[in-house]
Amino acid sequence: MTSRDLIKVEKLVKYFPIYSRGVLFKKEVGLVHAVDKITFSIRRNETFGLVGESGCGKTTTARLILNLVEPTSGKVFFEEENVFDKFQSANRKEKLELRRKMQLVFQNPYGSLDPRMTVFDIISEPFVIHKHVAKSQWKENVYKLLELVGLEEYHAERYPHEFSGGQRQRICIARALAVEPQFLVADEPVSSLDVSIRAQILNLLGELQESIGLTYLYISHDLSSVRQISHRVAVMYLGEIVELADTDELFKEPLHPYTEALIRAVPIPDPKAKSMKIVLPGEVPSPINPPPGCRFHPRCPRAKLLCKEEKPGLFEVNPNHLVACHP
């Protein structure tokens, strides 16, 4: 039996300690509240968008799900299996098996490809590690992957520096797909690309989802691209999810004042669009000492006394629409 959810995240917490330079021992002087008790689930075959400004914990969330950093507390389930436990206890073979199911595409395609390896080496490296493809099949598989991401066979013999940013990102996607994953985390995959190239990569991700049935966690600060590609969206602020809803509903009727401000802050490419902007005062506070109560209250145009004192829970206000804001 397979459930609807591929990934389940339960009360996930990650605090990074800050140390001062002590005389003999490091002294812990504070904690960065990078991710603070977030709960959500990602359904099979959907694109789950995660938006927020820099430092709100988007990338840390992704790294926690992939178990690239250890959580302070909380659980992540992949197909009902506890990811953290599995990586703690399982033998190498089982670990690799789980790794094969989830992959990551990074933001910067310039930094995430080894300049000394040819494209063939880069894409076939997963075969070396996971040994799921016979050596005689490597070439065929690499060519198939290149075709899948819209590159040509002759590209296999080239080095990363011979490619443009968009093509490099295609190589990164091909490498991630080499292990036939079910789940792909795309961490700002188009932010470092030119406008005309972004559409290519966004469309490619959409096509791949249809043809091989991938599930995505799409992380971005660019709301327009999130709207374009995601089925459901979660908005993060200072390590917490403040709103979670179906994409169209979220963008049409944002319920959290932060979501609303975030959406209105994006200039729309239409000179006639009425600007009904709410300019938020101030900046995102430090996650070392997050404000008490609702973390958004110092910047919130609708803040009440209650907001300063009590932290709002994330509740379902409309069907499938969760908001953390005092009514």
CA distances from 284 to 64, 236, 248, 287 (A): 23, 12, 26, 9
**Is 152 a binder of other proteins (CB under 8 A)?**
no
**Is 270 a binder of other proteins (CB under 8 A)?**
yes
Q: Measure the CA–CA gap between 131 and 138, rounded to whole angstroms.
A: 10
- Residues 77-116, mask of contacts with other proteins (x by CB under 8 A): ----------------------------------------
Q: Which range touches other proteins (CB under 8 A), out of 95-103, 140-148, 153-161, 277-285?
A: 277-285
Return the closest-CA partner of residue 321 out of 234, 263, 258: 234
Closest CB to other proteins among residues 74, 254? 254
Q: Measure the CA–CA gap between 78 and 9, rounded to whole angstroms.
A: 9
Helix (H, G, I), strand (E, B) or coil at 9: strand
**Residue from 25, 152, 274, 319 in contact with other proteins (CB under 8 A):** 274
- Residues 281-300, mask of contacts with other proteins (x by CB under 8 A): --xx----------------
**Is 233 a binder of other proteins (CB under 8 A)?**
no
All residues at 6 or more sequence positions from 189 whose CB lies less than 8 Å from its CB, including other chains: 105, 106, 107, 169, 172, 173, 201, 205, 218
Angle (CA) 23-29-34 rounded to 5° is 135
Instruction: Please count the residues of this chain forming the interface with other proteins, following the rule CB under 8 A.
Output: 43
CA distances from 255 to 174, 229, 251, 309 (A): 38, 21, 10, 21
**Is 50 a binder of other proteins (CB under 8 A)?**
no
Q: How many CB atoms lie within 10 A of CB 58?
A: 24
Closest CB to other proteins among residues 215, 228? 228
**Residue from 69, 90, 199, 317 in contact with other proteins (CB under 8 A):** 199
State the residues that interact with other proteins by CB under 8 A. 53-54, 164, 166-167, 194-200, 202-203, 221, 223-225, 227-228, 247-248, 251, 261-275, 277, 279-280, 283-284
